[in-house]
C-alpha cells in the first residue's frame, strides 16, 4: 500500500501534516521521507509549506476550502480583512488570496493553491468578534464585519479622513453594513488605538443615523 492509499484509507481530510504522516508510515525517518518525496514527485501530494501537504486535485474527496486551509497553514489564526469582508458580501469583487489575522509574527505564504497572508494582532483582541463557521464539512474561524474593519485599520497603518472614506475606499455600501452597537463598544475598548476608536465611532454614528 503506497502513501496515497494509506491517507485515503485512514484519514477523512485531504490536508495532512508531517506528524500525521509519521503515524501512517512505518520504517525509519529516512524511509518515511523517501515515501513522501516519491508522492510529491509522482504528483500525488502538493507541498503547501514546511510540514504540511495536500492531496493532488484528482485524488481529493471534496474541494478544499481556502479558509480552512489557511488555518492549517499558519495558526492560530482567523480569516479577516478583505477576505472576511468579501465573505460577508460587503466587498463586491473577488479578493486575491486569503487574508487572516494571527497571533504569531506576520507572514505571507505563496503556495501552489494560492497566496495566504497573515497579519499579527494583539492577543487581548484575538478572539473578540470571531465566529466559528461550519460549511460543507469545512470548519474555520471568521471575523465579523466590525472586527474585520477594526483589524484592517489596526494593521494597515493608513489614514482616512473619516469612516465614510474608509468604506468608500473598500467599495462597501453603507446600507449593507449591519453592526451590533454593543460589539462596536467592546472592540473600541480593547483595541486601544485612536485610529480604530475613531473608525468604530464613525460606524456607530452611521448605524444610529439609519434608525
Q: Which cell is 39 given?
A: 508522492
Q: Which cell is 132 given?
A: 466559528
At residue 94, the pLDDT reads 66
CA distance 189 to 187: 5
At residue 63, the pLDDT reads 87
156 phi, psi to nearest 5 deg: -80, -20
CA distance 46 to 201: 45
At residue 209, the pLDDT reads 66
**In which residue ranges of the chain is pLDDT below 70?**
1, 93-95, 209-211
Q: Are 143 and 80 in contact (CB under 8 A)?
A: yes
At residue 24, the pLDDT reads 85
- The string of DSSP codes covering the chain is --HHHHHHHH-SSSEEEHHHHHHH--S-HHHHHHHHHHHHHTTSEEEEETTEEEE-GGG-SSPPPHHHHHHHHSSSEEE-HHHHHHHTT-SSSPPSSEEEEESS--EEEEETTEEEEEEE--GGGTTTTEEEEEETTEEEEEE-HHHHHHHHHHHH----SSHHHHHHHTT--GGG----HHHHHHHHHHH--HHHHHHHHHHHHHHHHT-
At residue 86, the pLDDT reads 93
pLDDT digits (tens, 9 = 90+) for 34-57: 889 988 999 989 999 999 999 998
* Residue 123 CA: distances (Å) to CA of 6, 76, 77, 157, 200: 38, 11, 11, 19, 20
Q: Which cell is 187 given?
A: 472592540
Q: Is 89 left (phi over 0), alpha (psi -120 to 50) or beta?
A: left
Amino acid at each position: 500500500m503506497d502513501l496515497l492509499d494509506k491517507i485515503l484509507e485512514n484519514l477523512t481530510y485531504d490536508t495532512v501534516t508531517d506528524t500525521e504522516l509519521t503515524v501512517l508510515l512505518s520504517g525509519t525517518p529516512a524511509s518515511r521521507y523517501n515515501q513522501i518525496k516519491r508522492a510529491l514527485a509522482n504528483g500525488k501530494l502538493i507541498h503547501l509549506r514546511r510540514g504540511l501537504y495536500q492531496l493532488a486535485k484528482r485524488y481529493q474527496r471534496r474541494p478544499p476550502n481556502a479558509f480552512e486551509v489557511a488555518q492549517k497553514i499558519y495558526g492560530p489564526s482567523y480569516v479577516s480583512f478583505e477576505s472576511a469582508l468579501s465573505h460577508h458580501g460587503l466587498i463586491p469583487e473577488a479578493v486575491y488570496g486569503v487574508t487572516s489575522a494571527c497571533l504569531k509574527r506576520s507572514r505571507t505564504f505563496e503556495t501552489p493553491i494560492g497566496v495566504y497572508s497573515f497579519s499579527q494582532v494583539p492577543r487581548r483582541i484575538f478572539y473578540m468578534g470571531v465566529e466559528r463557521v461550519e460549511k460543507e464539512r469545512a470548519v474555520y474561524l471568521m471575523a465579523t464585519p466590525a472586527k474585520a474593519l477594526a483589524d484592517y485599520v489596526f494593521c494597515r497603518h493608513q489614514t482616512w479622513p473619516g469612516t465614510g472614506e474608509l468604506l468608500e475606499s473598500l467599495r462597501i455600501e453603507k446600507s449593507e453594513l449591519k453592526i451590533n452597537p454593543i460589539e462596536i463598544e467592546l472592540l473600541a475598548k480593547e483595541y486601544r488605538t485612536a485610529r480604530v476608536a475613531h473608525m468604530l465611532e464613525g460606524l456607530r454614528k452611521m448605524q444610529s443615523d439609519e434608525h
